[in-house]
């Protein structure tokens, strides 16, 4: 993502999945999946609302734009600040994210009376988003190469963007908590809890000829990102 200022020689920016059902400033992060047009099933990750529906549109509105609005609580937030308008397509970028994060910290610092509630609201949303992403969309090594494609499988680049955004917001929250001297238990430790393994990255490494054992070692260094890998055997791949 652009805010990381990294270059991998491959474009990983996800498409912008346009939808008329936007996450608005007055939407509740936790109630959003239960809207009639979605009726999202948290156990399967599938939508049960009236067609036409797109799981990609839903996830992007809820866990990207919705998470941003809920954490930042910025009434000046504009979805368009995160969209690149190309001649034939539109993609997501995060060039403006740093500016929003700086504004978030200023707002929290100047709101002595509401600061704690702001941070608690952000934390609850981050916890929920991480639970959904790691439970439903983190790569399971056992499924790699099996050809298994669940119905309406989400776009892999979109899932990567949710993981990167989640890690970024969690890290920013922890830095604000530390600088402002918050002492509420649990507001620091979650920085080490991963948001999952993006299959698009692992598959790209495999397709480029990386040794699978090396990939396994690298992912093991990501702590809880790779809990599904611990019982796998990789000897035959190298």
Residue 227 pLDDT? 37
Nearest 10 degrees: Cα torsion 19, 87, 5, 96: -50
Structure tokens at 107: 């707002």
Give the residue, 148 or 222, on which the prediction is more confident.
222
Give the residue, 91 or 116, on which the prediction is more confident.
91
What distance in Å separates the CA atoms of residue 23 and residue 66, rounded to the nearest whole number?
A: 6
Long-range CB contacts for residues 206-213, cutoff 8 Å, separation at least 24:
206/144, 211/237, 211/238, 212/237, 212/238, 213/237, 213/238
Band (pLDDT 50/70/90 cuts) for residue 48 is confident
Band (pLDDT 50/70/90 cuts) for residue 37 is confident
User: pTM of the entire structure?
Assistant: 0.80
pLDDT tens by residue, 156-172: 889 999 999 999 999 99
Number of Cβ within 10 Å of residue 95's Cβ equals: 12
């Amino acid at each position: 993502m652009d805010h990381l200022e990294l270059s991998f020689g491959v474009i990983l920016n996800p498409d912008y999945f346009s939808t008329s059902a936007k996450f608005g400033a007055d939407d509740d992060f936790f109630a959003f999946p239960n809207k009639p047009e979605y009726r999202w099933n948290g156990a399967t990750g599938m939508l049960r609302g009236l067609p036409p529906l797109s799981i990609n549109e839903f996830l992007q509105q809820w866990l990207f734009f919705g998470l941003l609005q809920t954490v930042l609580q910025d009434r000046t937030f504009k979805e368009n600040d995160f969209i690149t308008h190309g001649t034939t397509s539109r993609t997501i970028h995060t060039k403006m994210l740093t500016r929003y994060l700086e504004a978030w910290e200023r707002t929290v610092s100047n709101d002595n009376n509401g600061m704690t509630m702001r941070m608690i609201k952000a934390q609850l949303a981050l916890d929920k988003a991480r639970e959904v992403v790691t439970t439903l969309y983190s790569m399971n090594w056992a499924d790699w190469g099996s050809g298994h494609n669940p119905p309406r499988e989400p776009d892999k680049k979109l899932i990567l963007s949710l993981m990167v955004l989640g890690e970024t917001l969690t890290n920013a929250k922890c830095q604000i908590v530390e600088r402002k001297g918050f002492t509420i238990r649990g507001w620091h430790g979650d920085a080490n809890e991963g948001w999952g393994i993006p299959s698009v990255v692992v598959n790209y490494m495999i397709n480029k000829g990386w040794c699978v054992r090396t990939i396994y070692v690298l992912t093991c260094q990501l702590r809880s990102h790779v809990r599904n890998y611990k019982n796998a055997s990789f000897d035959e791949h190298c």
